[in-house]
């Protein structure tokens, strides 16, 4: 189904439609956990505290679910025994334990190995540093060992069940099995903490008039690529409702907020001026302010039409440790007044907020990217869905994902289930509606970078239905459609995902 943004044969309706408004809540009780106060921050603490906090928080919950699941096993004469410590497990006894997953991976970067190589090089008379190996997309291999650990020690998990289960370092699980050989626990079943409880919300009876939220990632403002600028221009016109027929304008008028999930600005490029004198024997590099200036202008233009939420991303001028802290308002000179008025809100990455009682958990994608290195498969959506049943959105932190050394909390634990869970800057658009055992419903959305696919997502806040909208030129639309349908000169392709977000309108032409 193609939604045209440019129809020369159709008279554009110049009568502006009234944009819907929504109730907005920062959810300080949830989002404040991701904020690091500069007055109290310290990097002297050990990262091991995070693992202890995580295990202490989720062990009792996972233990109760394990007891409920395995207390009585149909067809099994031997009743399994629960052990509170992994090293207390008796051999040849059907039992279950709860602990933290640790994957001993041969391809995982190790700073101690780097230091050992450098010492070996110095011993052989090599005076320069040995280059570290190039990072790979996957650190998974067939030689990896999977372990379960707690405060008492560590036990190796073996067997076909555990080998075919998608796990990453740092998650809390319960395992049912038998220790046949000393130190090796043959797994027969796995239990997770499960999808957390979800607060209820009211829904509109008329889904065709429900408010929508638009989500985009990887805009990379400041890019000098012509196609990027054209797609962004089409995106701005679509959100503002300044282009298209009455159906297009009706759709944009229902968008109450725009969420920008990371990589808002293009990476800075250094320029060396040969005419400038060298300082300390080095060329002085200068950096253009175009990315921040373009982003500032972008925010000023769009915030007059729709309220905006911004998260920093991995390539933005923000800290590398998670949770990334909000952009300082001083970066945006022209949009400063819009921040003060509340039409633009800067968030941490990740963050929580609520729109019309619909709770959103948004991440710029680093958490899924890091978990993706641990698994054999290629399903990033599966990892996002698994995060809900793990009750943790960043289990690999701090092992391979840099994060702040919290000592009193683990902010990445999910104490409640969001209604919409977004991960930006992924390889492709993917979405799934997750339903929990207690009636929870969560719309999981993996969103690609806009500069790569020109795609955004629109989610209905009442029904949680989600559709991607892709802005393409005529050539791009032909490739995307994959058939012989006639395409407009410039337009947006709207994929169908269950419910049509765009109401039928005969006057708007063919959809």
- Identify the burial level of 163 via C-beta atoms within 10 angstroms of its C-beta, where 0-12 means exposed, 13-18 middle and 19 or more buried: middle
What are the sequence ranges of the domains in the chain?
A: 2-34+201-269+285-508, 49-191
Q: How many Å apart are CA 264 and CA 247, to the nearest integer?
A: 29
Compute the C-alpha angle 468/473/477, nearest 5°: 55
CA distance 313 to 20: 29
On the question of pLDDT at 346 being above 60, the answer is: yes
pLDDT score of 113 more than 90: no
Give rounded-to-5 percent helix, strand, coil for the chain: 25, 25, 50
What is the distance of C-alpha 358 from the center of its chain? 18
Q: Tell me: the pLDDT tens digits for 68-88?
A: 999 888 777 778 999 999 999
Predicted confidence band at 279 (pLDDT cuts at 50, 70, 90)? low
Confidence band (pLDDT; 50, 70, 90) for 177? very high
Closest CA to 412 of 58, 46, 40: 58
Specify whether domain 2-34+201-269+285-508 bears CATH 3.40.50.170. no
Q: Is the dihedral of CA 365, 50, 168, 132 positive or negative?
A: positive
* pLDDT value of position 101: 98
> Distance (Å, rounded) from C-alpha 72 to C-alpha 177?
14
Q: Is the pLDDT of residue 59 over 90?
A: yes
* Reported confidence tier of residue 119, pLDDT bands at 50, 70, 90: low
Treating both helix axes as pointing N-terminal to C-terminal, what angle do 226-240 and 246-253 enclose, rounded to 10 degrees? Answer: 80
**Average pLDDT for 394-412:** 94
Give the domain 49-191 fold: OB fold (Dihydrolipoamide Acetyltransferase, E2P) (2.40.50)
**How, if at all, do strands 255-261 and 307-311 pair?**
parallel
Tokens of 114: 């780097």
- At residue 144, φ and ψ (nearest 5 deg) are -70, 150
* SS3 of residue 365 by DSSP: coil
pTM: 0.86
User: Which residue, among 98, 89, 33, has the nearest Cα to 61 in the 3D structure?
Assistant: 98
Say if residues 261 and 311 touch (Cβ distance below 8 Å).
yes
CA distance 477 to 153: 57
- Cα–Cα dist 363/323, whole Å: 10
Q: Mean of the pLDDT values across residues 187-205?
A: 90
- Kindly report whether the peptide bond that precedes residue 221 is cis, defined as omega within 30 degrees of 0: no
φ, ψ for residue 54 (rounded to 5)? -65, -45
Q: What are the pLDDT digits (tens) for 8-48?
A: 333 344 445 789 999 999 999 999 999 998 877 787 778 88
């Amino acid at each position: 189904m193609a939604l045209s943004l440019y129809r020369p044969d159709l008279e554009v309706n110049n009568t502006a439609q009234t944009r819907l408004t929504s109730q907005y809540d920062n959810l300080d009780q949830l989002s404040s956990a991701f904020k690091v106060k500069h007055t109290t921050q310290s990097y002297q603490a050990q990262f091991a505290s995070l693992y202890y906090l995580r295990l202490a928080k989720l062990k009792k919950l996972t233990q109760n679910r394990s007891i409920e699941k395995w207390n009585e096993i149909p067809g099994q004469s031997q009743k399994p025994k629960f052990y509170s410590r992994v090293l207390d497990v008796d051999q040849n006894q059907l039992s279950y334990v709860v602990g933290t997953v640790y994957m001993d991976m041969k391809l995982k970067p190790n700073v101690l190995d780097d230091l050992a190589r450098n010492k070996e090089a110095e011993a052989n008379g090599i005076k320069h540093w040995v280059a570290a190996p190039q990072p790979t997309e996957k650190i998974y291999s067939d030689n990896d060992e999977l372990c379960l650990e707690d405060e008492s020690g560590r036990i190796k998990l073996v067997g076909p069940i555990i080998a075919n289960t998608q796990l990453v370092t740092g998650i809390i699980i319960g395992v049912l099995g038998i220790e046949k050989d000393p130190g090796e626990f043959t797994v027969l079943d796995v239990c997770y903490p499960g999808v957390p409880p979800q607060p209820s919300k009211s829904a509109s009876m008329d889904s065709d008039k429900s408010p929508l939220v638009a989500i985009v990632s990887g805009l990379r403002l400041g890019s000098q690529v012509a196609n990027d600028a054209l797609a962004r221009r089409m995106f701005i016109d679509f959100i503002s409702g300044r282009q298209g027929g009455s159906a297009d304008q009706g759709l944009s008028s229902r968008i109450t907020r725009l969420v920008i999930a990371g990589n808002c600005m293009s990476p800075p490029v250094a320029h060396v001026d040969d005419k400038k004198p060298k300082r300390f024997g080095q060329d002085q590099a200068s950096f253009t302010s175009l990315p921040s200036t373009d982003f500032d202008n972008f925010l000023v233009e769009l915030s007059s039409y729709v309220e905006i939420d911004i998260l920093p991303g991995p390539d933005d001028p923000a800290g590398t440790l998670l949770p990334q802290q909000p952009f300082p308002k001083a970066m945006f000179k022209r949009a400063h007044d819009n921040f003060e008025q509340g039409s633009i809100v800067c968030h941490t990455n990740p963050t929580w907020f609520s729109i019309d009682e619909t709770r959103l958990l948004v991440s710029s994608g680093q958490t899924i990217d890091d978990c993706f290195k641990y698994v054999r498969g290629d399903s990033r959506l599966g990892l996002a869905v698994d995060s809900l049943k793990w009750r943790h959105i960043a289990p690999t932190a701090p092992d391979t994902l840099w994060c702040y050394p919290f000592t009193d909390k683990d902010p990445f634990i999910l104490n409640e289930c969001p209604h919409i869970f977004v991960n930006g800057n992924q390889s492709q658009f993917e979405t799934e509606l997750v339903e929990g055992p207690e009636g929870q419903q969560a719309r999981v959305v993996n969103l690609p970078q806009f500069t790569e696919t020109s795609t955004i997502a629109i989610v209905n806040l009442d029904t949680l239905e989600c559709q991607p909208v892709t802005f393409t030129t005529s050539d791009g639309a032909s490739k995307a459609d994959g058939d012989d349908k006639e395409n407009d000169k410039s337009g947006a392709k709207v994929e169908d995902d269950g419910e049509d977000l765009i109401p039928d309108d005969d006057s708007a032409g063919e959809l």
